[in-house]
Structure formats: structure tokens, C-alpha cells
């Protein structure tokens, strides 16, 4: 009985070890396609809508919304709007004129920000329907994105680039927004280059953190998407440490070491304090150490070292070679 209990505890501890989450920036698993939801206000038969926003990441992401490019504090509105527990999705029980606008969700943790597609709520009115049916409207088409900008998580000194293109008739006019204001009102930045359909920021640093929005408009309306540039500076962290291992003489083995950091840490391995390079030792693309044709003299302490400009981390194991 004691032996079974000991084995149970060992298995439980191993399961707990493998369940440890690896740090990761947010990534959407549920969101709307970019588009428009049309509705007619009806007090007798209210129209509900769910604006989906759900992401995964470690730590667990928090959520925020913007409406028409400005922070959307739905909590201060009436009880028609609620956020689903554990998600960012908003449920509006009855749509009204006040809900018209372009919505976008952000999921964020300490490792980055994910930006959702935009979804527009637009009320259908009788004069709008008549205008769309009128022959005088010709072949005019409201703007729609063909290339949408995306949020960027970058390390210091990286170059980041946003692209934005739209189609419509007449041809949409592209306008860039920075932190809620037209880009021409933003403080000058010699590292930022503005092109008709893109923005390039060279050698980013913490001062570049913020929102950029792309607005495409013509006489039939506009589409808008807000994105976020986040500049990360994270020292190395051993997310999955190597473990002691036994190996038979003349066999090949891999010793695993998972690391995380921004910029991506450089990894090296040492054996009893001496750096391993070439010969029968190879550091794989995933930072694992591969040892070919193990010899008795390969036994000893192996250390995984990870470093970037913000710090270092290391973890050691013992390799035992059996004859």
C-alpha cells in the first residue's frame, strides 16, 4: 500500500510539472470577422448582439474595448451591456441608436497585446434603404479593408511596420491616427516614416509604445482599425528546466531547456564549466543540447545558460553514463 501511495505522489508531481504554463502573449481564439452588423431599433422586440472577444495567453489576458477609436467604458452605461465572465465578449441585450459605431477589442498581458478585427454596428433607416435602392447611387461602394494593420510586440531596436489598404468607390482616403489624434498632431519622431499605406518605425524604444489607427473613408462612410505597438524588455526566464538523465554508453541523447525573454535570449551549454562547441555536441534550434555517441567522460554537470541585454538565467542537471 505504501509503495502504491508513493507512486501516486510521484505521478501527481510529474503531472503538475507538465501542467505548468509557458509564458505567452495573448492570441485570439474567438473574434468577429471585420464587417458590419445592421439593425433596426425595436423597443417591442429588441435585437440582441454578442460582440465576441476571447483570447488565450499566460498570464491570463485582461480585456478592454474601444468605440470609434476612443476608450469604451461600457460599465457606465445602462444594464443592456455586460461582459461574459472570463472573456472579453460583450453582450448587448437590445440595440439602440446610441450603440452605432465601430468596435474593437484588445486582449493584453505583460507579454503583449492582441488586437481584434473591427466590427461596426449600423442602424438601418428607411431613407438609407431608399438611397441604396436609388439608380442615382450608381456603382458607389462603401470603404472596406483589403489589408488591415496588426498589433506588434517588438523588442527595443527592432523595426516595426503597419500596413493599411482599402477599396471602395470613390477610392477611400487613408488617414492615420496616433493615440486618438491625427498623426500630424503627434510629436515629431525622426525614426518614424509615413507612407500613403504604411508606417515604419525604426529602432523602437519605450517612447514608441501606443496606439495607431487607420481610417479609410469616402462619401458613403468609413472603416477604422486601431492597433497597438508594444515594446517589451524581459530578462531571460527558464520556463522548463532540464532534468537529471541517465544514458547508455555510445547512445545519442537530447537534453531539453526551454527559455523565454525579449529580445530572444542566446543559449549556450557548458559541461563542468566548459562551453560546448562542435564535435559531438550540437545546440538545436529549440535550444536543446544534442550529444552524439555518448562516452563515459561525458558524465557530469551540464548547465543551460540564457542571456539577453536585460539579464541572465541558468539551470543545471547531472548526466550519468552507464557502461
d(CA 43, CA 239): 54
d(CA 216, CA 170): 11
CA distances for 208 relative to 20, 104, 119, 193, angstroms: 33, 21, 27, 13
Query: What is the grid cell recorded at 71?
Result: 476608450
Q: Is the pLDDT of residue 10 over 60?
A: no
pLDDT digits (tens, 9 = 90+) for 145-158: 888 888 888 888 89
pLDDT digits (tens, 9 = 90+) for 35-71: 778 887 877 777 788 899 999 998 999 999 998 888 8
| CATH architecture, domain defined by 234-322 | Sandwich (2.60)
Local confidence band at 136 (pLDDT 50, 70, 90 cut-offs): very low
| CATH architecture, domain defined by 139-232 | Sandwich (2.60)
DSSP at 278: S
pLDDT digits (tens, 9 = 90+) for 155-164: 888 999 999 9
| Helix, strand, or coil (residue 18) | helix
Residue intervals of the chain classified under CATH 2.60.40.10 are 24-137, 139-232, 234-322
Half-sphere exposure of 210 (CA within 13 A, CB side): 16
Q: Are 253 and 284 in contact (CB under 8 A)?
A: no
What average pLDDT does range 71-79 have in this prediction?
80
- For cell 499566460, the residue is 58
pLDDT digits (tens, 9 = 90+) for 221-261: 888 888 889 888 889 999 889 999 999 988 999 999 999 88
pLDDT digits (tens, 9 = 90+) for 269-307: 999 999 998 789 999 988 899 999 999 999 999 999 999
Local confidence band at 75 (pLDDT 50, 70, 90 cut-offs): confident
Check if CATH label 3.30.930.10 holds for domain 24-137: no
d(CA 105, CA 87): 11
Q: Which of 116, 93, 84 is nearest to 39 (CA)?
A: 93
Half-sphere exposure of 228 (CA within 13 A, CB side): 22
Rounded to 10 degrees, the C-alpha dihedral 66/70/71/73 comes to -90
What pLDDT, on the 0 to 100 scale, is given for residue 138? 59
Share of the chain above pLDDT 70, in %: 89
What pLDDT, on the 0 to 100 scale, is given for residue 186? 87
Amino acid at each position: 500500500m505504501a509503495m502504491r501511495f508513493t507512486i501516486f505522489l510521484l505521478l501527481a508531481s510529474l503531472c503538475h510539472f507538465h501542467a505548468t504554463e509557458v509564458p505567452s502573449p495573448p492570441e485570439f481564439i474567438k473574434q468577429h470577422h471585420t464587417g458590419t452588423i445592421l439593425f433596426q431599433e425595436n423597443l417591442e422586440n429588441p435585437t440582441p448582439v454578442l460582440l465576441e472577444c476571447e483570447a488565450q495567453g499566460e498570464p491570463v489576458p485582461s480585456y478592454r474595448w474601444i468605440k470609434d477609436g476612443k476608450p469604451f467604458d461600457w460599465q457606465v452605461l445602462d444594464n443592456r451591456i455586460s461582459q461574459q465572465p472570463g472573456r472579453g465578449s460583450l453582450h448587448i441585450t437590445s440595440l439602440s441608436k446610441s450603440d452605432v459605431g465601430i468596435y474593437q477589442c484588445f486582449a493584453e498581458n505583460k507579454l503583449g497585446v492582441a488586437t481584434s478585427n473591427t466590427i461596426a454596428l449600423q442602424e438601418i433607416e428607411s431613407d438609407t434603404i431608399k438611397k441604396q435602392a436609388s439608380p442615382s447611387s450608381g456603382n458607389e461602394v462603401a470603404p472596406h479593408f483589403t489589408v488591415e494593420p496588426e498589433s506588434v510586440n517588438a523588442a527595443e531596436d527592432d523595426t516595426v511596420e503597419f500596413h493599411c489598404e482599402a477599396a471602395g468607390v470613390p477610392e477611400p482616403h487613408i488617414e492615420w491616427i496616433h493615440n486618438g489624434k491625427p498623426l500630424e498632431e503627434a510629436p515629431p519622431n525622426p525614426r518614424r516614416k509615413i507612407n500613403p499605406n504604411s508606417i515604419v518605425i525604426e529602432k523602437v524604444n519605450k517612447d514608441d509604445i501606443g496606439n495607431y489607427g487607420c481610417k479609410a473613408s469616402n462619401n458613403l462612410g468609413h472603416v477604422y482599425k486601431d492597433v497597438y505597438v508594444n515594446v517589451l524588455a524581459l530578462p531571460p526566464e527558464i520556463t522548463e528546466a532540464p532534468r537529471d538523465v541517465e544514458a547508455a554508453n555510445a547512445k545519442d541523447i537530447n537534453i531539453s531547456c526551454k527559455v523565454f525573454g525579449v529580445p530572444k535570449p542566446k543559449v549556450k551549454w557548458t559541461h563542468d564549466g566548459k562551453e560546448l562547441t562542435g564535435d559531438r555536441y550540437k545546440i538545436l534550434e529549440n535550444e536543446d543540447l544534442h550529444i552524439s555517441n555518448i562516452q563515459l567522460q561525458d558524465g557530469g554537470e551540464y548547465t543551460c545558460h540564457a542571456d539577453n541585454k536585460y539579464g541572465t538565467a541558468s539551470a543545471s542537471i547531472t548526466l550519468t553514463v552507464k557502461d
